[in-house]
Amino acid sequence: MSTINPPTPGAAASGAGRPMRVDVRNDKGLKRDIGKIGLLFTGVGSIIGSGWLFGAFNASVMVGPASLISWGLGAVMMIFVALNYAELGVMFPVAGGVIRFPHFSFGSFASFTSGWITWLSVAATVPIEVMAAVQYASSYLPWLMHTVDDVAVLTGPGIAVSIALMLVFSIINLYGVSLFARFNNVLVWWKLAVILLVIVVFFALAFNPGHFTSQQFGGFAPNGVAPILAALPAAGIVFSYLGFRQGVEFAGETTNPQKNVPFAVVGSILVTGLIYILLQAAFIGALPTDLLKDGWANLAFTNDAGPLAEISLLLGAVWLAIILYGDAIISPADTGLIYTALAPRLSYSQAKVGNAPRALAKLNKHGVPWISLLVVFIVSCIMFLPFPSWAKLVGFITSGTVLSFATGPVVVAALRRQLPEQERPFKLPGGDVLPIIGFVCANLIVYWTGWETNWKLFLAVAIGYVVMIAHHIFAKDKSRLPDLKMRSGWWMILWMVGLVVLSLIGHYGGGLDLMGFIVGEIVTVIFSIIVFYVGISCRLTPEEAVEAVEQTQIDD
């Protein structure tokens, strides 16, 4: 699928002589059916899922009015990460790029490490969005959920309904990205309209500016600075931005990736970031003052699962509450539809780089990796059993997805050294500066997530290595297995172990708090920069990088 400009005879392994390039064409069988707005809406629709329905409430409890800073900071940090994927997605407009990019620079072990946790996080996002929709529906269909240890969990019939919803998502996606995009565009317009309606109505019916600064309620930042950072993962703020990746994952299926990918990746965060900040401001201003008499930390509603609808009822806007309860099903369902489309493309990419059975790369006549879609459906259904509630999955997904994104900045810096003459229609300025900032931002978010969540994430990474070993042992055709390239990928173990230690001794989420606030952040930044350059120094040679790209694009 690509042609290689060969090296000058006698060029050294370090890349001396004329650098090499790869002329990349679209993956065979995938359809370029998503336009510029369709790709943007795929990102916006994925970002606006279940998070916005309770994010403003959770952030207010943790941070108070300073939650506005949390939302803005979250958007800025995710843009720094996303910009790296805009450069990569235009260079290599392939399906499942988040997995394939590390393979190009660091080989199979690195791409498996990133790909495994990416795939798990995405596969878990499908049931979590379905559970959010079902949970809100349980307010008028109580047989869908019941309470266990103060947590709403699915009943047997609730699990059956959830599986049926996922089956519908799978069937829609089975018929190709064009049908999926048409469904998604309609749903995204609906979701945007509802959020904007909430913002306008809240500002119009009640806006109390004193809520933002009054010392009666603790002032602008009643709990100090640290919660502003901790709220990014804990309040669902980062979770609410994670859908920007869709502009990268569907890069191989858009009409003009050079223009559409950067537009969709950055644009989706900017659009939703502005909406989230306005929503947070409207929420804070519209709160009845008597609900704040015990302070922001004790803010509570009769039904905390639907705080926006509760405020609507308190303001007398019953009609808006009805719309919100309906949208509480539609918004998560649309995001679940998008992630049902994404997860098979990640399996497809793992198969293309040799880290999974090649059957997962088989496409149907609509250009859909149908076996991968079937596997995702089965795994997502199984996740309802050990994780029958939204709350049990959200922290894992947030930390895991951000961790998978963190490889992108390192790959950008490595590829600039490996393939300096590669065409880059979109290139970040400033050398390593923006990639370093993106890598640091991702690691800080994982650090702020805390030990209680992160130990489960790194256990999942360890399980993934067991799966990788089993794949290499039991593969029928071992000649098709890729060289793990451990000499180029070992830095990821250093990175993972370091994050484990930082989380354990850190200030957040059940850590031992041996470093305290600020010191922990400084140590994490220094550690991130060290790992960044260790990773770059371990990169594949230019010849190996070209070979890695070529091998993943061989026609079946």
Q: What is the mean pLDDT of residues 447-463?
A: 89
For residues 548 and 427, the answer to whether their CB atoms sit within 8 Å is: no
Position 392 confidence tier, pLDDT thresholds 50, 70, 90 = low
Which of 5-19, 258-272, 395-409, 538-552 is predicted with the least confidence, judged by mean pLDDT? 5-19
E strands within 428-534? none
Which uninterrupted H or E stretch holds 147?
Answer: strand 145-148
With contact defined as beta carbons under 8 Å apart, do 301 and 310 qualify?
yes
| pLDDT beyond 80 at 314 | yes
CA 533: distance to chain centroid? 24
pLDDT single digits (tens) 478-514: 777 778 899 999 999 999 999 999 999 998 888 899 9
Q: What digits encode the pLDDT tens for the residues 146-192?
A: 877 666 788 889 889 988 988 888 887 777 555 656 666 677 788 88
More confident residue, 496 or 89: 496
Among 81-95, 187-201, 264-278, the minimum mean pLDDT is found in: 81-95
State yes or no: pLDDT of 556 exceeds 80: no
21 vs 530, higher pLDDT:
530
Residue with tokens 């329905």: 53
Distance CA 471, CA 109 (A): 13
Helix ranges restricted to H, 491-551: 491-505, 519-537, 542-551
Are the C-beta atoms of residues 276 and 55 closer than 8 Å to each other?
yes
Tell me what the pLDDT averaged over the chain comes to: 82
Using CA atoms in the order 532, 538, 539, 540, what is the torsion angle rounded to 10 degrees? Answer: -170
Answer whether residue 124 shows pLDDT above 90: no
- What distance in Å separates the CA atoms of residue 130 and residue 154, rounded to the nearest whole number? 11
Q: What pLDDT, on the 0 to 100 scale, is given for residue 29?
A: 52
Predicted confidence at residue 535, as pLDDT, reads 96
**Which one is predicted more confidently, 534 or 121?**
534
CB distance 321 to 309 below 8 Å: yes
Given pLDDT bands bounded at 50, 70 and 90, which one contains residue 22? Answer: confident
pLDDT at residue number 123: 82
Q: Where are the domains of the chain?
A: 2-551
Compute the average pLDDT of residues 543-549. 86
Asked if pLDDT for residue 1 goes beyond 60, the answer is no
pLDDT at 487: 93
pTM: 0.81
What is the distance between the alpha carbons of residues 57 and 308, in angstroms, rounded to a whole number? 8
pLDDT at 218 over 70: yes
Res. 438: pLDDT tops 90: yes
The predicted structure's pLDDT at residue 431: 92
Q: Which two tokens stand for residue 162?
A: 């959830």
Model pLDDT, residue 182: 66
Highest mean pLDDT, choosing among 43-47, 60-64, 307-311, 419-423: 60-64
Q: With 50 as the cut, is the pLDDT of residue 2 above it?
A: no
Lowest-pLDDT choice from 41-45, 98-102, 499-503, 536-540: 41-45
pLDDT: which is higher, 72 or 340? 72
d(CA 260, CA 264): 6
**Residue 98: what pLDDT?**
73
Q: What pLDDT, on the 0 to 100 scale, is given for residue 105?
A: 93
The CATH homologous superfamily of the domain defined by 2-551 = Amino acid/polyamine transporter I (1.20.1740.10)
Percentage of the chain modeled with pLDDT above 90: 29
Task: Report which of 244, 249, 268 is spatially closest to residue 341, judged by C-alpha positions.
Answer: 249
Taking only the tens place, the pLDDT of each residue in 338-387 is: 778 777 877 777 777 677 777 777 787 777 788 888 888 888 888 777 66
